[in-house]
Amino acid sequence: MPTIALSERPDAIAPHGGQLVNRIATPEQRQEFLDKADSLPRVKLDKRATSDLEMIAIGGFSPLTGFMEQADYESVVDKMRLANGLPWSIPITLSVEEAIAAPLKEGSLVRLDDDGGNFIGVLELTQKYSYDKTHEAIKVYRTDEDKHPGVKVVYDQGAINLAGPVWLLQREPHPQFPSYQIDPAASRALLKEKGWKTIVGFQTRNPIHRAHEYIIKCALEIVDGLFLHPLVGATKSDDIPAEVRMRCYEIMKDNYFPKDRVILAINPAAMRYAGPREAIFHALVRKNYGCTHFIVGRDHAGVGDYYGTYDAQYIFDEFEPGELGITPLKFEHAFFCEVTETMATSKTSPSTPEQRIHLSGTKVREMLRRGELPPPQFSRPLVAAELAKAMKEKS
């Protein structure tokens, strides 16, 4: 299996597990797979599984080399660790219906197609196993309600998990954001080129509002650079589309951040909305991209009222210091303080609760749907104008 040796960048933070995985087929392997294409049994991947295949192949999910076997799956669900004890908080599985799994033989190759029927990868099937969907939902998402978008995905998917190493047939340019497609090997090289020793990663599925900007800039005071890493894989239908969010990130990068201290790159992964567990997962992924620090704010990766405001911060304390290999930067809920007329938190503001304007992506979306332009306390005017334009075009 091709890997990038840690010795190639001795000053870098180690990828999770020690080596950066590369499961992109070589030209020779690709041709061999293409020659067998018509004779291989096929499994069609949904958008999330396609993203997972991609993230495994490029090393974003290192040390995973494929979809999880039963021992790893059960250990992750129950203990937030792979079977070998390495921390990992989200199961990465390929689930299919029993009728699809039945004819597949362990030890054989399976052709993986995207939802358009295009041949994109190969699975070396090492194991087929059933699993308890409700148990996974309760352990990973802390609820068995199908109103939770992550739980609904689990309930809707097949009853059998297919496991084994994978190969991505070919790394294609991202159809929407090719210039921001910076895979872990490339991001690590870029960070080395810039000479950054400390890098903070920021996860977002929403346009950056003023509270985000505030905590990012606080983090930038103590590190060399920012890895602004918006997620562009599958999200909820009511989340703001990726192309709109990317335009907002570009506006922020070009106008409100120091240009020489920010890298903007896309994260092809899909959202799970798993709250605390996904905060750990997001941190480990950014570790693989070369980040040394990771911002964890209010209700990270949350949805609805399923998680406490700071549960995603508390979960990091369940691991030994240094065990995750990346440092979480935990921030209080930021707001616009009407007394000081600046962004602040309860740690720095002299205001009373009534003098605090709390911001959120949800509030911004609600205002836009009502045809209201978010005020400057919520969003930078250039960003607000871009969001309003996109909402008008959609209407």
pLDDT tens for 67-82 read 999 999 999 999 999 9
What integer is the mean pLDDT of 340-363?
89
Q: Return the higher-pLDDT residue of 205 and 94.
A: 94
> Same CATH topology for 3-168 and 179-394?
no
Does 4 score more than 90 pLDDT?
A: no
Rounded Cα gap, residues 309 and 48, in angstroms:
27
Rounded Cα gap, residues 111 and 201, in angstroms:
35
* Contact criterion met (CB below 8 Å) for 355 and 337: yes
* Contact criterion met (CB below 8 Å) for 88 and 81: yes
What integer is the mean pLDDT of 34-52?
97
Does 16 score more than 90 pLDDT?
A: yes
Residue 11: which pLDDT band, with cuts at 50, 70 and 90?
low
22 is catalytic: no
Cα torsion angle, 301, 305, 310, 313, sign: negative
Residue 6: which pLDDT band, with cuts at 50, 70 and 90?
very low
Return the exposure string of 289-316: e unless at least 16 CB atoms fall within 10 Å of the residue's CB, then b. Answer: bbbbbbbbbbbbbbbeebbeebbbbebb
Q: What is the residue extent of each domain of the chain?
A: 3-168, 179-394
Cα 139 to its chain centre, rounded Å, is 19
Does 1 score more than 50 pLDDT?
A: no
CATH 3.10.400.10 assigned to domain 3-168? The reply is: yes
Annotated catalytic residue within 22, 111, 188, 206: 206
Position 122 scores a pLDDT of 98
Annotated catalytic residue within 111, 205, 298, 356: 205
- Give me the chain's average pLDDT, please: 93
Position 361 scores a pLDDT of 66
Report pTM.
0.93
pLDDT per residue over 90-149, tens digit each?
999 999 999 999 999 999 999 999 999 999 999 999 999 999 999 999 999 999 999 999
Return the exposure string of 55-67: e unless at least 16 CB atoms fall within 10 Å of the residue's CB, then b. Answer: bbbbbbbbbbbbb
Residue 365: which pLDDT band, with cuts at 50, 70 and 90?
confident
pLDDT per residue over 297-333, tens digit each?
989 999 999 999 999 999 999 999 999 999 999 999 8
User: Which of 3.40.50.620, 3.10.50.40, 3.60.130.10, 3.40.50.1010 is the CATH number of 179-394?
Assistant: 3.40.50.620
Position 5 scores a pLDDT of 38
Does 8 score more than 70 pLDDT?
A: no
Cis amide leading into 63 (omega within 30): yes
Closest alpha carbon to 388 in 377, 329, 375: 375
Could you give the percent of the chain with pLDDT greater than 70? 96
Position 241 scores a pLDDT of 87
Rounded Cα gap, residues 271 and 217, in angstroms:
25
Does 206 score more than 90 pLDDT?
A: no
Burial class (CB in 10 A: 0-12, 13-18, 19+), 123: buried
Could you give the percent of the chain with pLDDT greater than 90? 82
Rounded Cα gap, residues 32 and 344, in angstroms:
58
pLDDT per residue over 169-182, tens digit each?
999 999 999 999 99
Position 9 scores a pLDDT of 41
245 is catalytic: no
pLDDT per residue over 244-271, tens digit each?
999 999 999 999 999 899 999 999 999 9
Position 3 scores a pLDDT of 38
Position 238 scores a pLDDT of 74
